[in-house]
Amino acid sequence: MKQIFALLISLSLGLTMNAQSGMTPELLWKLGRVSLDDVSPDGKYALYGITTYDMGKNTGERLVYRVPTKGGTPERISEKEDGSESGAHFVGDSKTIAFMRKGQLRLKEWGGEEKPVTDIRDGIANAHLQKTKNGHLLVFSKKVPRNNWLLRPYESMKKANVRIYDDLMYRHWDDWQGEMTEHLCIADLPKDIIHPVVIYKDLMKGEDYAFPTPPFGGKGDYSIHPDGTHIAYVLKPETGIDFAQSTNTRIFLYDLETESTTEISGDNEGYDKYPKFSPDGKYLSWLSMPRAGFESDESHFVVYDLKENKAHRTLADFWHSYDWADKKTVYITKDEKATIPVYKLNLSFGKTGVSAKAEAFATGRYNYGNIKAGKGTVVAERMDMNHPTEIFTFDKRGEAEALSKVNTPIFDRMPTSEIREEWVTTSDGEKMLVWVILPPDFDESKQYPALLYCQGGPQSAVSQFYSFRWNFQLMASQGYVVIAPNRRGLPGFGKAWNDDISGNWGGQPIADYLTAVDEMAKKPYIDESRIGAVGASYGGYSVYQLAGVHEGRFKTFISHCGLFHMESWYGTTEELFFANWDLGGPYWDKPTPKSYLDFSPHSKVDQWDTPIMVIHGEKDFRVPVEQGLQAFQAAKIRGIDSRLVLFPDEGHWILQPQNAMVWQTEFFMWLNKYLK
């Protein structure tokens, strides 16, 4: 294994040496990955984590630091080296910090020794400790047995290897449904927390519902009232086929005094998520998508009056992370023309209800996210196409200043890529933004090979993200011009632009890609005889679709976890609400949706004539591996030069360090074979 890994490193280094100076696959995995955890109530300190990877051990570790928000030297919250730290948060003041390690919650008084808060069998997750009048309230999630697990009668058959299901969803993203589900739990603790918690209350006892909402739910799925009297939480109170076909998450309010639970999100049938109490405890907010089954709808900012028991829907937009700064002010991010700026919501409360006015706060060619606010302080994560996430704080005018500079020493010595903003006219007369990422040390007089980047999602903006796989800086550093269109179906350009992809995957969005390539190929610095197309998920679908309609525009393709045969995909994927909305329903509907008749890439394989590499994770249940196998087999039977790269222990993404290094090596070796 060591010899194979050394060979991969040498191959990758060879690729880099023949390309422009700048980012390399090895350096990409040496970067510290920064993420914000919390800001103290007094606004004086922030907590953030740095994840680093050991390529030889094929593992990563996250350590948490405290830093003054006015600037200063970050300090580790713990001196122990026995496991990653996560979920760090302040408990009442800026000196008391709780955090997770090895599935249990720990507590640290700054300058003192850390001590255990929990000692719960099999561990907990998503924990938050909050001071109350009488002590502390602990909220967390915990795995519990399902009520009706079909394999329990066979517990004596230890050597049997079988899965038995009577309903959907029997698997989700990269996990098979098992004997356990996860519930929201609470525990009351004394002020001094002498003994670790072992006894707790399950708020969902007797149900097979899952908390937090899979697959991406977390601590943002609940909020604790400032006085510790209530807990607001998100729940999708459905199981089986209903869960598979619904986006109807709802907001529930639990009263600790009466031990009663009330649903407060009303008759909305789309996603309701990210509940947060206002600092004065009078209101609860959340984001609410109005259309049932549409996971990428725009969201209303909802403010619920706890005294009147009434929800007020305010502004609708493609909102993301937010936090209350005071009782009338919320800082929030949103998609806006391929960037994610910070906006300030100024709330007004009157007899007729609650209204909100949005005011631009921190803008620029950046992606902001994970906003946290303390007294007089706003802190957020920030990234762009040339720089990974660091932590920033803001002055009153929205000017940002870096609190963390984890990767600054590396990027200070590295040439960056110029990012050009091009606007082209689409085939139906609309204006489309295309990002063009140029190699470091770009020479306008030379010609470069180019890559058309096809975005996944499908409703996921080509904004200022810094990916650790689909990394534009890395691609450009290998000597490629990257063409990244914000084609139809992306947020940030209006509701209609975002909606135009649903039911029309192979129509205007694919035409937008061809327009982008045709217009950029006119640039004197792009060699139109050396253009490839790459992408994952819907981007991988786009690659397969383009392979049948490109008419010689591309010299090679790479598709990662792409959808190839739409009927078989509908029959094997798991989140049916997504398939029903974006494909227009199941393939047996009458009339048959055109997604199956006109927009299934397998139907155009007779037009395939260009080398293609297919990459897939065998644990990908979102786009099952059979999609990639069918595409590779079709290409080989057609006599097309093709390669299949399978990762048995990866799902929709490549997450393990050495697998990622293999991915990058194969990716650039294939491109260099046909485009260099």
The reply to whether 652 belongs to the active site is: yes
Residue with the two structure tokens 């098979």: 176
* Two tokens, residue 238: 């459905």
The DSSP element (H or E) to which 435 belongs, if any, is: strand 431-437
The reply to whether 620 belongs to the active site is: yes
Q: How many CA atoms lie within 13 A of 29 on its CB side?
A: 24
For 313, other C-beta atoms within 10 Å of its C-beta total 17
For 48, other C-beta atoms within 10 Å of its C-beta total 26
Q: Classify residue 388 by its DSSP letter.
A: E
Q: How far apart are the first and last CA of the chain?
A: 30
Torsion of CA 114, 118, 119, 123, to 10 degrees: -110
The DSSP element (H or E) to which 642 belongs, if any, is: strand 642-647
Residue with the two structure tokens 């001196």: 79
Determine the number of helices (DSSP H) and then strands (DSSP E) in the chain.
13, 38
**CB-based burial label for 45 (10 Å; 0-12, 13-18, 19+):** buried
**Measuring CA to CA, how many Å separate 174 from each of 69, 214, 237, 527, 630?**
39, 11, 22, 40, 20
φ, ψ for residue 144, nearest 5 deg: -135, 155
Q: Classify residue 169 by its DSSP letter.
A: -
Distance CA 24, CA 13 (A): 8
Distance CA 130, CA 649 (A): 38
Residue with the two structure tokens 């039911």: 503
Strands 377-384 and 387-394 come out as antiparallel
Strands 96-101 and 104-109 come out as antiparallel
Candidates 25, 15, 19; CA nearest to 660 is 25
Distance CA 39, CA 25 (A): 33
Distance CA 458, CA 537 (A): 8
Distance CA 503, CA 584 (A): 5
The reply to whether 260 belongs to the active site is: no
Reply yes or no: is the peptide bond before residue 169 cis, omega within 30 of 0. yes
Strands 310-317 and 319-326 come out as unpaired
Q: Are 638 and 632 in contact (CB under 8 A)?
A: no
Distance CA 140, CA 324 (A): 22
Selecting among 223, 417, 537, 559, the annotated active-site residue is: 537
Selecting among 477, 512, 620, 642, the annotated active-site residue is: 620
Candidates 189, 69, 82, 97; CA nearest to 135 is 189
Active-site annotation, residues: 537, 620, 652
